[in-house]
Chains A and B, each alone.
Chain A
Amino acid sequence: MKSLILKTVSKTLLPLLILFSVFVLLRGHYLPGGGFVGGLIAAVAFILHAFANGLPETKKLLRIHPGFLIPIGLTIAILSALAPIILTGDPLMTGLWQEQDVPVLGKIGSALFFDMGVYFVVVGVCLTIIFTISESV
């Protein structure tokens, strides 16, 4: 499926889709969206790139093995859950919120970091599965 059109489009779409996935991740606080959906969109971006340019190209682009994103995401998520224990002495998973709004993003809380963790885990898992399947075919 190495058509020139797809190849060209995928190079433009990759940054756009990743940007969109970050947007979906951030708006998840107030509106539909969040880490899971954002992660899926980001994974789709890379999968599209792999379809158009071949797996080796995408791997070069990613630099690290996508499976490595899983523990990174899990670490971010568990740190956001542990933060209230360490910082304020509240029970696990208590939401910590910043006092003032940040422009564009809105209020930042520990929930956002949990979502980011989910985002990385979803990207890691999806890409690992798809890469493994397309390698073995």
Chain B
Amino acid sequence: MSEHLVIYPIIVHMLTAILLLFFWMNPKIQRYISILGSAVGIIIGILLFKEVWTDGIQSVQLGNWQAPFGITMIADTLAVSLIVLTNIVAFALSIASTKNMVSTRVKFGYHAIFHFLIMGLSGAFITGDLFSLYVWFEVIIISSFVLLTIGGRKIQIEGAVKYFTLNMISSIIFLTGIAMVYGATGSLNMAELSRIIPEMENQGLVQTISLVFFIGFGVKSGVFPLYFWLPASYHTPPSVVSALFAGLLTKVGIYAMLRVFTLIFPLGEMNQMILMVIAGLTMFFGGIGALVQKDILRVFSYLIICHIGFMVGGLSLFTEVALVGAVMYMFHDIIVKATLFMMGGVMYRIFGTTKMENMGGLMDNYPKLSLLFAIPLFALVGIPPLSGFWPKISLFSASYTAGEIAMLVMFIFASLITLIIVAKIWNKAFSKNENRIERRASFKYFKDFSFSEKAAYIVPIVLLVGVTLYYSFFAEHFQLVAERIGYELMNTEEYYNAVFGIKEVTKL
């Protein structure tokens, strides 16, 4: 049974979700099942990571149909590290949703959909087939749409309409790209495509098709001209849901880009240029957008966009060091962005508002909490030794050695603008004198919470900050993993051999 470990991350969350559906009417038990399911998810993720780390890339042929004909599930180092991080975030957030969720939301199946979403994410990470990737993307979109609208407030529906329309369009574009690839090559197996595509005569066509994929994934990850849905929708749902979206959903788009543009369509000169320009513009507009926003959750939303630029920029440089930087940044970003939105939720409960000018005095009233919140904020900027610093070393040096000074300037610009934004948040919410605004009568403030409610808000943040600190002080572990990922992304033989089961030949 252990040889099928590759698919267990999907199975665990599916079983958890089914179990949760059985307890539809019993929200109390649902909480514990949800936490338990996520904990088992972490354990399985770590076991799979260990196996991949020691024995190389693992694969399973679904239905026992051999590789180019059936669907292959394949776990390489990139996929398993993302699965481990996803499950850690899911665990933290399922603790948070014990008290954070109004019972009307739980009654409409919040917990089950949460696990279906994690299942979709795990599936997208480990599939080795383009069409199957599309199907997992659909699972993710449908679950996220339910999570976004559950509760049914007007502002939520408004955000969800924008979110759903643009994501649907991106799915259609992605599907069109798949149709083009299938028409041109007759295969959708990623490993087989990696051998067919370089030998095709019409390379211009191939590069064009790859741009169709870039648009499809670009909408999902929120790159420059296609990001407007993101700040319009991410501040509307409860903080747990937006933390989940911020941490993981945009990163699936980046993961798909990393996979497709290294394995199937290695970036050509022209596409590299296009990606580079778009990465620069994404950082610029994301940063500027964050600077002018007054609502703290909207500031965080724009920061997501700004920092997506780092990952796309790392990919566009297309050297091993740059990919290492991009992957490192992704690891850091998943944890920190999820923490930020959880933090935003706590600040909303403390001040009763998300407008920054109405905040103030956090440092005087909650000194310990302020210290806790300072860590992800400073990690975001990349103040050494916190986690944002380490990937930037690789990214900066890669752009310098590649001679792309414009890219380097944009990286530095984005880092500086993040620093300005964090300083602004610190000024307005933490160190400014307390700003007495009228208490809202029917609003439950943080200081009125019972101990267990406070714990449900704070424990997940502590957990995620713990991961950030581990990343910060043991960055060499992450560096090692990222270097191996960079190697695997640039040298696709092992991936190909794992899919087609010709391991022995390479070992001789």
Q: Which residues of A contact B (CB under 8 A)?
A: 67-68, 70-71, 74-75, 78, 82, 84-86, 89-95
Shortest Cβ gap from A66 to chain B (Å): 12
Whether B7 lies near A92 (C-beta < 8 A) is yes
Whether A67 lies near B4 (C-beta < 8 A) is no
Q: Which residues of B contact A (CB under 8 A)?
A: 1, 3-4, 7, 11, 14-15, 18-19, 21-22, 24, 60-64
Q: In whole angstroms, how far apart are the Cα atoms of A75 and B22 in the complex?
A: 10
Shortest Cβ gap from A89 to chain B (Å): 7
Shortest Cβ gap from B105 to chain A (Å): 17
> With A78-B15, A86-B1, A92-B7 as given contacts, are A71 and B63 in contact (CB-CB < 8 Å)?
no
- The contact sample of 13 A-B pairs, CB cut-off 8 A, is A71-B24, A74-B21, A78-B15, A78-B18, A85-B4, A86-B1, A89-B1, A91-B61, A92-B7, A92-B11, A92-B62, A93-B62, A94-B63
Q: In whole angstroms, how far apart are the Cα atoms of A74 and B15 in the complex?
A: 9
Q: In whole angstroms, how far apart are the Cα atoms of A5 and B22 in the complex?
A: 39
Q: In whole angstroms, how far apart are the Cα atoms of A67 and B61 in the complex?
A: 33
Residues from chain A with a CB closer than 8 A to the CB of B1 are 85-86, 89
Shortest Cβ gap from A116 to chain B (Å): 15
Residues from chain B with a CB closer than 8 A to the CB of A95 are 63
Quick one: which of A71, A75, A90, A92 has the most chain B CB within 10 A?
A92
The residue from B11, B19, B21, B64 contacting A70, defined by CB atoms under 8 A apart: B21
Q: In whole angstroms, how far apart are the Cα atoms of A27 and B61 in the complex?
A: 28
Q: In whole angstroms, how far apart are the Cα atoms of A75 and B15 in the complex?
A: 8
Shortest Cβ gap from B409 to chain A (Å): 49
Whether A67 lies near B24 (C-beta < 8 A) is yes
The residue from A67, A74, A84, A86 contacting B18, defined by CB atoms under 8 A apart: A74
> With A67-B24, A82-B11, A85-B4 as given contacts, are A91 and B18 in contact (CB-CB < 8 Å)?
no
The residue from A67, A70, A78, A90 contacting B14, defined by CB atoms under 8 A apart: A78
Quick one: which of A85, A90, A91, A95 has the most chain B CB within 10 A?
A91
Residues from chain A with a CB closer than 8 A to the CB of B21 are 70-71, 74
Residues from chain A with a CB closer than 8 A to the CB of B7 are 91-92
